[in-house]
Amino acid sequence: MSNPATRADGRQPAQLRPITFEANIAPHATGSVLVSFGRTRVICAATIEPGVPTWMKQQKISGGWLTAEYSMLPYSTHERKARDISRGKIDGRTVEIQRLIGRSLRAVLDLEKLGANTLWVDCDVLQADGGTRTAAITGAWLAARLAVQRLLDDKRIAENPLADSVAAVSVGVVGGAELLDLAYVEDKDAEVDFNVVMTGRGQFVEVQGSGEESTFSPTQLTSLVALAQGGIREVTALQTAFLAKRLL
């Protein structure tokens, strides 16, 4: 693997962008966080409502449910992105990402302990500079954790239904170099692009990887996953530190 002296933003190959979390960005939500991975910024809001989807009632499935929605605001990209509603349909990328967010959070959520409630997670991209889906997953879990704490404090549920944390990061091969947490300028030229989702205990939730007009070897696959694991450990530590100041 080549090792460039510097990336476009001056980072080392295995270095994350600066990551920050700001709580209560959407005060009407049950829990909310503004997550920033460098210049990528996503509002993640979790709203818990009584009741479950009709299909659960019809199938007599107990417990609650979690569903996620994702959108890129028109001004989040360099060129204005039309709203889905103006096109009359949701684009395939949006559907894929919101399903990924939902799967990622449900992987660590005990729906029985959630009770007969629906946890809505809304992720809205304010500014896109690569890694919007990984930032959304990372922030969505924090928003969900804050929302769950409110239910616990209000004694609406007896136990914390979140069994573990979830975080995500991107990795890829750009110009022959394996890089962590790709910014847009890197992502658009990546020969190989991965999105990795893991729990705080180090279990994989999802690994999405593809060669962009290229291929990758088994050795590169192993190396990229290891690079992502290291990055996610750092992100998880930041999540833990953020919550430690808010969940006393």
Q: At 233, is the pLDDT very low, low, confident or very high (cuts 50, 70, 90)?
A: very high
**What are the contacts of 7-13 at 24+ separation with CB within 8 A?**
7/179, 7/183, 7/186, 8/183, 8/185, 8/186, 9/38, 9/183, 13/177, 13/178, 13/179, 13/180
Once rounded to an integer, what is the mean pLDDT over residues 188-195? 94
pLDDT of residue 238: 98
Tokens of 119: 């946890």
CA atoms within 13 A on the CB side of 240: 11
Of 5-9, 97-101, 199-203, give the lowest mean pLDDT range.
5-9
CA distance linking residue 64 with residue 153, whole number of Å: 18
86 versus 45: the higher-pLDDT residue is 45
CA distance linking residue 208 with residue 210, whole number of Å: 7
pLDDT of residue 89: 67
**Residue 77 in this model has a pLDDT that exceeds 80:** no
Is 205:197 a contact under the CB 8 Å cutoff? yes
**Residue 42 in this model has a pLDDT that exceeds 90:** yes
pLDDT of residue 13: 96
Query: Could you tell me whether strands 31-37 and 40-50 are parallel, antiparallel, or unpaired per DSSP bridges?
Result: antiparallel
**Residue 3 in this model has a pLDDT that exceeds 60:** no
DSSP sequence for 195-226: EEEEETTS-EEEEEEEESSS---HHHHHHHHH
How far is CA 75 from its chain centroid? 20
Average model confidence (pLDDT) across the chain: 92
**What Rg, from alpha-carbon coordinates, does the chain have?**
18
pLDDT of residue 45: 97
pLDDT of residue 47: 96
Query: Could you tell me whether strands 65-72 and 117-127 are parallel, antiparallel, or unpaired per DSSP bridges?
Result: parallel
User: Could you tell me which CATH number the domain at 19-244 has?
Assistant: 3.30.230.70
Regarding pTM above 0.75, the answer is yes
Q: What letter does residue 4 receive in the DSSP assignment?
A: -
Q: At 41, is the pLDDT very low, low, confident or very high (cuts 50, 70, 90)?
A: very high
Tokens of 178: 């394996």
Q: At 78, is the pLDDT very low, low, confident or very high (cuts 50, 70, 90)?
A: confident
Q: What are the two backbone dihedrals, phi and then psi, of residue 159, each rounded to the nearest 5 degrees?
A: -135, 155
Q: Is 102 left (phi over 0), alpha (psi -120 to 50) or beta?
A: alpha
Once rounded to an integer, what is the mean pLDDT over residues 205-223? 92
Query: Which tens digits make up the pLDDT trace of 130-184?
Result: 999 999 999 999 999 999 999 999 999 999 999 999 999 999 999 999 999 999 9
102 versus 246: the higher-pLDDT residue is 102
Give the residues across from 204 on adjacent strands: 198
